[in-house]
Amino acid sequence: MTIKVNQTEIPGTVLEAKRWWRKQIREAQKGLTDEYMTEASEAIREQLMRMEEYRKAKTVMLYVNCGKEVVTRSLMDVANRAGKTVCLPLCYDTDQHLMDARLWNAEHRLVAGAYGIPEPASDAPVIDPKEIDLVVLPCMSCDADCNRLGHGAGYYDRYLTQLRDDVVTVALCYEEILAEEIPTEEHDKEVNAVITEKNIYRSK
């Protein structure tokens, strides 16, 4: 399923269009049941684990889900048990919207971060962004062309510029809230792949 809209209803500027789409997505998210999100998240995890890019990656940056995002805790555990170096984002400057990647494993505790989202404690080791092979990103929604709609703070936009050119970026999205077309600005970059419970969409 893809959320389709009357294009004439979308505001003119990209920034306004993004805000408009976020409102549509929030409405669509209300229809996502806990049962659906649990089953879809498990299917999405299996889709990711079958990707060659994931299997080859030694250092993987994941995220801790909040709200209606794809659930990732089991993915964190599985990646850790598979011997991968797992890191998670830590937001350390809420004025400039900056984050870094911190090491996580079963021995590292998570604490409530700046936005109440669980993240590594401030004493967790920092992972050099150049060491990361694959980044798994949260989203509000994506489209089939691998454009991602985040929450609007720009943390990932800034962080991704520090990574190697060959790093693989993957967004996790429920098929039920996949958007028809995400508006983009010049600084917005496509992710390499969008994974839903039904498909793996790849950038062209």
Residue-wise pLDDT tens digits, 156-196: 989 999 999 999 999 999 999 999 889 888 778 899 999 99
pLDDT score recorded for residue 84:
97
- Is 7's pLDDT higher than 50? no
Residue labelled with tokens 């009357």? 6
Tens of pLDDT along 25-50? 999 999 999 999 999 999 999 999 99
Q: Annotate the chain with three-state secondary structure.
A: CEECCCHHHCCCCHHHHHHHHHHHHHHHHCCCCHHHHHHHHHHHHHHHHHCHHHHHCCEEECCCCCCCCCCCHHHHHHHHHCCCEEEEEEEEECCCCEEEEEEECCCCCEEECCCCCEEECCCCCEECHHHCCEEEECCCEEECCCCEECCCCCHHHHHHCCCCCCCEEEEECCHHHEECCCCCCCCCCCCCEEECCCCEEECC
- Is 8's pLDDT higher than 80? no
pLDDT score recorded for residue 178:
94
- Is 3's pLDDT higher than 60? no
The CA distance from 22 to 151, in Å, is 8
**What band does 11 get if pLDDT is binned at 50, 70 and 90?**
low
The CATH superfamily assigned to 2-6+11-202 is NagB/RpiA/CoA transferase-like (3.40.50.10420)
Tens of pLDDT along 45-87? 999 999 999 999 999 999 999 999 999 999 999 999 999 999 9
pLDDT score recorded for residue 10:
60
pLDDT score recorded for residue 59:
98
Query: Which carries the bigger pLDDT value, residue 119 or residue 6?
Result: 119
- Is 115's pLDDT higher than 90? no
Domain ranges of the chain: 2-6+11-202
The CA distance from 181 to 145, in Å, is 8
Average pLDDT over residues 2-27: 74
pLDDT score recorded for residue 9:
56
